[in-house]
Amino acid sequence: MKNQSKHLIIGASGQIGSVLTTSLRHLHGASAVVASDIKKPSQELLAQGPFEPIDATDYDQIFSIVKRHNIDTVYLMAAMLSANAEKRPEKAWDLNMTSLFHVLNLAKLGHIKQVFWPSSIAVFGPSTPKVNVPQHTIMEPSTVYGISKLAGERWCDYYHKTYNVDVRSLRFPGLISWQSMPGGGTTDYAVDIFHKAIANASYECFLSEDTALPMMYMDDAIRAILELMNAKIDNIKIRSSYNLSAMSFTPKALYESIVKYHPSFKIKYRPDFRQAIADSWPNSIDDSFAQKDWGWSPKFDLDALVKDMFKHL
């Protein structure tokens, strides 16, 4: 057990937050991990350990939970994702930025010791190279979500340099999980498709068949968070956010892997507004800084991911 540290997950009902909460509870014990969300928690999450309702844009609420539970590490997983953010730009900016400032300020004032905050491949834009995007490159995101994540990265770096805040971050690709559903993102198709396949339904994909995007299995994503947070402080050279990579695939390649398990499964492609978002993002990512600084290495490729999804679903 790690030296009695206490963890708060803000956004614990979400796709990453729910799996992260369970993993941290296995590692540190249920009472050392406080889950919180504005959404009502699932019965499963409630039964596991402490839960606090929280509005991530309300500093006083976060502060009182941090104090009451003696929290020293906060994982800020609450955010509005890319597709939803295009529908409500100002609301997305407010949620994504205000919550980050609150948590960074708690660290700046010494109320907490460590912060994890997820960034995204959405920080890249149409002028970024498409293939093997390096850590340092042109960043001109064209989505509200990407703008908020890029601004957030700059603030994380600023709070580290100026106030010595120990904030750590990863630029997540699309995440695929059997435990939880994504909501309001552009890479959501890669989870939805599995649920349609097991329901023996057909799937109408909102991206075109040849849209290649960086993707990652949730097991790898959670392990990346834990490894980054446990890495020695001197090894963390990047305080904006680390590029992180596992695999890249198109809807067609994913469909072809799934159909091996469900031969009668059918797919149709009907791109909607999310196609333009996907087209503005890279196809693949170079994560050599994460490899070098804290030893990152993914375990799941497309075949392993599909196999594991069907094992669990």
Residues 283 and 247 sit within 8 Å (Cβ to Cβ): no
- 59, 75, 145, 261: which is the annotated catalytic residue? 145
Write the CA distances from 155 to 102, 148, 165, 173, integer angstroms.
Answer: 12, 10, 11, 21
* Cβ neighbourhood burial of 132 (10 Å; 0-12, 13-18, 19+): middle
- Is the Cβ of residue 104 or residue 121 nearer to ligand SER in the bound state? 121
Q: At what angle do helices 302-312 and 189-198 cross, to 10 degrees?
A: 50
- Is the Cβ of residue 107 or residue 193 nearer to ligand SER in the bound state? 193
Candidates 134-142, 180-188, 223-231, 283-291; binding stretch for ligand SER (CB under 6 A): 180-188
Residue 14 near ligand SER by CB under 6 A: no
Q: At what angle do helices 218-230 and 15-28 cross, to 10 degrees?
A: 60
Name the closest residue to ligand SER (Cβ). 185
Cα separation, 242 vs 293, in Å, equals 10
Residues 241 and 171 sit within 8 Å (Cβ to Cβ): yes
Residue 186 near ligand SER by CB under 6 A: yes
Residue 187 near ligand SER by CB under 6 A: yes
x-or-dash string of contact with ligand SER, 113-132, rule CB under 6 A: -------x-x----------
- Is the Cβ of residue 145 or residue 217 nearer to ligand SER in the bound state? 145
Q: Among residue numbers 52 through 81, which ones bind ligand SER (CB under 6 A)? A: 81
Q: Return the sign of the alpha-carbon dihedral for residues 231, 233, 236, 241.
A: positive
Angle (CA) 293-26-115 rounded to 5° is 45
Residue 283 near ligand SER by CB under 6 A: no
Residue 185 near ligand SER by CB under 6 A: yes
- Residue 145 falls in the annotated catalytic set: yes
Residue 174 near ligand SER by CB under 6 A: yes
For residue 284, give the DSSP letter.
-
What is the closest distance, in whole angstroms, from the C-beta atom of residue 258 to ligand SER in the complex?
Answer: 19
Residue ranges that bind ligand SER, judged by CB under 6 A: 81-82, 120, 122, 145, 172, 174, 185-187
Catalytic residues: 145
